[in-house]
């Protein structure tokens, strides 16, 4: 079975503007500048694109899973349907334990298995350390933190100011 180059992406703060009180309505769901171009560059380079996102607002009763899909469809429309899949964890540690919720690894393990990820050519892009910790745990060697500067001891292997810069790093590394 063919192995696939994959890029796993956190959603809020990487693909769309992050809000303290959640981005769950179309009015608040704002795709960040450069995201459509970045995702299409990755598709053109042969990568599978998979969103791995915590969505604890569901268990908190703030929004419903249907709202997650409405926003996902808006993202797909904005990005020419470049995204191959989305895994989300609707739980929160205050209400229940979940291996799916980052920094747990279950979403990653499911995506790696489903897409037969070539671990030498798989990347994780997140804006927070908790996005990158599970990537390291499952053996993803390339971990890019965007937007927030790296701190000493971070598990990130690269830093980029935004998704487009991160994608340029991936494309360059893929050509070597």
| Partners of 5 in beta bridges | none
Active site residue 10: yes
Query: 148 among the known binding-site residues?
Result: no
The more confident residue out of 99 and 167 is 167
How confident is the model over 54-59, as a mean pLDDT? 87
Structure tokens at 165: 């810069």
Q: How many CB atoms lie within 10 A of CB 114?
A: 15
- CATH number at 98 reads 3.40.50.1000
pTM of the complete model:
0.94
Mean pLDDT (the chain) is 93
- pLDDT of 93 reads 59
Residue 130 phi, psi (nearest 5):
-65, -20
Active site residue 147: no
**Distances, alpha carbon 9 to alpha carbons 39, 57, 147, in Å:** 10, 19, 14
CA distance 48 to 4: 7
Query: 20 among the known binding-site residues?
Result: yes
Split at pLDDT 50, 70, 90, the class of 150 is: confident
Split at pLDDT 50, 70, 90, the class of 60 is: confident
Split at pLDDT 50, 70, 90, the class of 90 is: confident
Q: Which residue in the list 12, 44, 84, 147 is annotated as catalytic?
A: 12
Query: 76 among the known binding-site residues?
Result: no
Containing structural domain, residue 137: 4-175
Q: Which residues contact 91 (CB under 8 A, 6 or more apart)?
A: 56, 59, 97, 98, 100, 101
- pLDDT of 96 reads 54
For residue 147, give the DSSP letter.
Answer: S
Structure tokens at 33: 């500048």
User: Is a pLDDT exceeding 90 seen at residue 99?
Assistant: no
The more confident residue out of 153 and 151 is 153
Helical ranges in 5-148 per DSSP H: 35-44, 65-78, 106-114, 129-137
User: Is a pLDDT exceeding 60 seen at residue 130?
Assistant: yes
Q: What is the CA radius of gyration of the chain?
A: 15
Query: 147 among the known binding-site residues?
Result: no
Count: domains in the chain: 1
Query: 101 among the known binding-site residues?
Result: yes
């Amino acid at each position: 079975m063919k192995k696939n180059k994959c890029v796993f992406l956190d959603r809020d703060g990487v693909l769309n503007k992050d809000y303290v009180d959640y981005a769950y309505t179309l009015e608040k769901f704002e795709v960040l500048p450069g995201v459509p171009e970045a995702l299409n560059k990755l598709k053109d380079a042969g990568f599978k694109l998979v969103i791995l996102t915590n969505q604890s607002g569901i268990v908190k009763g703030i929004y419903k899973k249907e709202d997650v899909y409405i926003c996902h469809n808006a993202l797909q429309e904005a990005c020419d349907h470049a995204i191959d899949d989305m895994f989300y964890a609707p739980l929160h540690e205050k209400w229940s334990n979940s291996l799916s919720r980052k920094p747990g690894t279950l979403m990653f393990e499911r995506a790696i298995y489903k897409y037969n990820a070539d671990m030498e050519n798989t990347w994780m892009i997140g804006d927070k350390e908790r996005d990158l910790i599970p990537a390291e745990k499952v053996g993803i060697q390339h971990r890019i933190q965007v937007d927030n500067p790296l701190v000493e001891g971070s598990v990130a292997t690269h830093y980029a100011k935004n998704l487009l810069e991160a994608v340029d790093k991936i494309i360059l590394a893929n050509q070597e």
